[in-house]
Every structure is written in C-alpha cells, then in structure tokens.
Amino acid sequence: MKHLQVAVGIIRNVHGEIFLTRRPPTSHMANRWEFPGGKIEVNETAQQALVRELQEETGIVVTHFTPYDLVDHHYSDLRVTLHFFVVEGWQGEPYGREGQPQRWVTQRELVADEFPPANHSIVARLVAEA
Ligand SMILES: Nc1nc2c([nH]c(=O)n2[C@@H]2O[C@H](COP(=O)(O)OP(=O)(O)OP(=O)(O)O)[C@@H](O)[C@H]2O)c(=O)[nH]1
Ligand SMILES: [Mg+2]
C-alpha cells in the first residue's frame, strides 16, 4: 500500500482562529476541509516541507512553528503519516493560492466531521485545548 509522509500546518492567529482550506472536488478526501500542507519530498525534512507547502498553497512565509502531533492513519487504499505543526508566525496573509475555498474558524468551533478521518483525533485535541 502507498504510504505518504505529509507535513500539515495548523495556522493560528492572535485571535485564536485557525486557517482552513477546502480540498479540491477531484482529490483524495474531496471537498473536506483541511489544514494546508502536503507530501514531504525525498531529501526534505518535515519542517522544510511545511514551509514549502504553506508558501505554495497559502502564499505565506512561515517564520515560527512548533511540532504538535504525529498521526498514522490507514485509509482503504492509502496509508498516511501526518506531521502536524502549529504555525503562529508568518509573513503575508494566508489565502487559497491554488483557488481553494478558505475560511478562518475559532479553535473551539472546529468540527471533526468536516475533515478527513485522519484528522479526527487532532481536531478533538484542538477543541479540548481551546
Ligand atoms: N494537506 C492535508 N492533507 C491531509 C490532511 N488530512 C489528511 O488525511 N490528508 C491527506 O494527506 C495526503 C497528502 O496531502 P495533499 O493532498 O495535501 O498533498 P499535496 O499537497 O502534496 O498534493 P499534490 O499531490 O496535489 O501536490 C492526502 O491523501 C490527504 O487526503 C490535512 O489536514 N491536510
Ligand atoms: Mg496539499
């Protein structure tokens, strides 16, 4: 089975809101809301992938982040290991640079069912810690 290593950014502003983008209609986990991020390439660390993916997908230059959690999840045809980081420093203003819908949501108002199943434990933890 294919196994992807993925770097994921939980972008949180000073108001305690988190930036979400919506996955494209034809992608894996189509139309689910997600934390921006993507596949870690060979010869790249999770941290380097985080910075690169957030630049590509949201236009920001990440300046401060901390590791948050590591989640391993088996979908029916795909295994993912998600490297979650909380991002609290950046330059620019995040937007859906690839045309994805976007929104800011208060941390305590995150809804697990809007995300891919691999995110459920993380969303529950974020809400509990809000
Ligand atoms: N970015 C992101 N991917 C997630 C999350 N949760 C989750 O299961 N994934 C899964 O992680 C896998 C890789 O993420 P991705 O599709 O963003 O990868 P990418 O940006 O490199 O995609 P690309 O191949 O279009 O360049 C997908 O199968 C996706 O469904 C999440 O919160 N954020
Ligand atoms: Mg992506």
Q: Is 38 annotated as a binding residue?
A: no
What's the whole-model pTM score?
A: 0.97
Domain ranges of the chain: 2-129
Measured distance CA(72)–CA(93) in Å, rounded:
30
How many angstroms separate the alpha carbon of residue 6 from the centre of ligand 1?
7
Q: Is 84 in the pocket of ligand 1 (CB under 6 A)?
A: no
Q: Is 4 helix (H, G, I), strand (E, B) or coil?
A: strand
Nearby residues of 17 by Cβ (< 8 Å), 6 or more positions away: 104, 105, 106, 107
Tell me if 35 CB under 6 Å of ligand 1. yes
- What kind of architecture, by CATH, is found in domain 2-129? Alpha-Beta Complex (3.90)
Tell the residue number behind the tokens 């088996």, with chain if given: 74
Q: What's residue 83's pLDDT?
A: 98
Asked if residue 27 lies in contact with residue 39, where contact means CB atoms within 8 angstroms, the answer is: no
Q: Any binding-site annotation on 17?
A: no
Which pLDDT belongs to residue 128?
A: 98
Query: What CA–CA distance (Å, rounded) separates 93 from 58?
Result: 8
Query: What string of pLDDT tens digits covers the 130 residues of the chain?
Result: 899 999 999 999 999 999 999 999 999 999 999 999 999 999 999 999 999 999 999 999 999 999 999 999 999 999 999 999 999 999 999 999 999 999 999 999 999 999 999 999 999 999 999 9
